[in-house]
Amino acid sequence: MIKIYTTPTCIYCHALMDWLDDMGVEYIEMDATKENDIKIVPVTEIDGERIVGFDRPAIKKALKKQDMA
């Protein structure tokens, strides 16, 4: 399960979701304003691992790990 914590005005959040859409990666968008522990967006959560920011290499690495599981 991939979760993307976003806010409506975050351009990086929308860029991240567009990038994942282009790759055909399914995810659930979560409202970061309802999470007390998320102060910076976007946050991508893949199998419990949280990646802060639009960090393509880290997200690709986590996605590869998920495919291997």
Domain count across the chain: 1
Question: 69: pLDDT confidence band, cut at 50, 70 and 90?
Answer: low
> Contact at 8 Å (CB) between 13 and 7?
yes
Q: Which domain holds residue 45?
A: 2-68
CATH number of 7's domain: 3.40.30.10
Residue 68 neighbours by CB under 8 Å, 6+ apart = none
Backbone angles phi, psi at 53, to 5 degrees: 85, 175
The mean pLDDT of 28-44, rounded to a whole number, is: 96
pTM, entire model: 0.92
pLDDT above 90 for 18: yes
Q: For residue 32, give the DSSP letter.
A: G
Instruction: Kindly tell me if the per-residue pLDDT of 25 is higher than 80.
Output: yes
For residue 60, pLDDT over 90 is answered with: yes
Structure confidence at residue 64 (pLDDT):
94
Torsion, CA 10, CA 18, CA 1, CA 38, rounded to 10: -10
| Average pLDDT of span 44-60 | 97
